[in-house]
């Protein structure tokens, strides 16, 4: 609109966000690991659109994290950026310190960081280096984040942890067995800490199927027909953008999920439907 200021546009964006989304996290603080890009960024922004102040974690994606923070502020909320390598316990401790001090509390932690060995197109291409890295990020990193955030939440009197898993555990991965193994490990982490932290802190796994993040769209196999094949095998007939399932993941941190802990919740368009 001619003459409209940036402030006017920001206010309009904030009003639109408040009108479009439920306010499930008003007054709460949400931490999302790996929030500089992809699914993590969309979870962080959706949390802000629903009223949360957001701690945006990143490791190398500083520019992406800055963009996520800008989107959070455009949604009318506050963001704090924190860098950490989640394969290091010392850095996770520092991340937890920063997360709890940024806004005086931490209500929800979303452990989103994971390595899918994206450049590996076949099991024949597996390397020991890739195995070590995937297991270090997906299993060690998720375990240490759950340990550090959760123990502090227990001491603080409450909280919720969401570990981002995958439906790869249903069928396995002929492409990258180390990825399937790592995601299976997250189930053990979730169930163990759900029992350890109960009844004060709930711990659950959210398992999306394939998501059309930019990194997925850039994959060689995705460009050469795999996307069409997967859509044809999915009952709902589409592969979602990350924003479409960000709110689904956050459901596990809402009051409506208050009697859910240690669960594995799937959102994959029916691709991996199994019998009772």
Report residue 36 as tokens.
């500089």
Helix, strand, coil: what percent of the chain each, to 5? 50, 15, 35
CA distance 224 to 209: 19
The residues facing 164 across adjacent strands are: 206
CA distance 156 to 181: 33
Residue 208 phi/psi, 5-degree rounding, is -80, 160
Let me know: does 126 contact 120? Beta carbons within 8 Å. yes
Q: Is 179 known to be catalytic?
A: yes
Work out the angle at residue 215's Cα, subtended by the Cα atoms of residues 212 and 220, and round it to the nearest 5 degrees.
95
Task: Collapse the DSSP code of 95 into the 3-class scheme (helix H, G, I; strand E, B; otherwise coil) and give the result.
Answer: helix
Query: Pick the catalytic residue: 179, 184, 193, 264?
Result: 179
Q: What is the distance, to the nearest Å, from the Cα of residue 59 to the centroid of all Cα atoms in its chain?
A: 14
Kindly list the strands in the beta sheet with 108-111, ordered across the sheet, starting from the edge strand earlier in the chain: 79-83, 53-58, 29-32, 108-111, 159-164, 201-208, 264-267
Residues in the chain: 276
- Burial zone of 155 (CB within 10 Å; 0-12 exposed, 13-18 middle, 19+ buried): exposed
Catalytic site residues?
179
């Amino acid at each position: 609109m001619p003459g409209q200021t940036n402030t006017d546009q920001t206010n309009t964006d904030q009003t639109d966000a408040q009108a479009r989304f439920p306010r499930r996290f008003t007054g709460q603080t949400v931490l999302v690991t790996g929030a500089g890009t992809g699914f993590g960024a969309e979870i962080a922004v959706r949390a802000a659109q629903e009223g949360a102040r957001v701690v945006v974690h990143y490791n190398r994606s500083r520019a992406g994290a800055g963009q996520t923070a800008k989107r959070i502020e455009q949604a009318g909320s506050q963001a704090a950026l924190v860098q950490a390598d989640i394969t290091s316990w010392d850095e996770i401790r520092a991340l937890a310190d920063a997360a709890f001090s940024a806004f005086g509390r931490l209500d929800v932690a979303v452990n989103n960081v994971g390595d899918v060995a994206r450049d590996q197109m076949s099991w024949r291409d597996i390397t020991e280096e890739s195995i070590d890295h995937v297991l270090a990020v997906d299993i060690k990193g998720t375990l240490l984040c759950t340990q550090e955030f959760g123990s502090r939440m227990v001491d603080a009197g409450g909280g919720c942890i969401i570990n981002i898993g995958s439906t790869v555990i249903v069928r396995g991965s002929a492409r990258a067995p180390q990825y399937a193994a790592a995601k299976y490990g997250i189930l053990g982490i979730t169930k163990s800490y759900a029992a350890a932290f109960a009844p004060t802190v709930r711990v659950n796994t959210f398992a999306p199927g394939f998501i059309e993040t930019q990194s997925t769209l850039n994959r060689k196999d995705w460009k050469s027909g795999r996307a069409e094949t997967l859509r044809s095998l999915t009952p709902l007939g589409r592969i979602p953008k990350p924003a479409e399932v960000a709110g689904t993941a956050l459901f596990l941190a809402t009051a409506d999920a208050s009697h859910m802990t240690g669960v594995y919740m799937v959102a994959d368009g029916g691709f991996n439907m199994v019998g009772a």
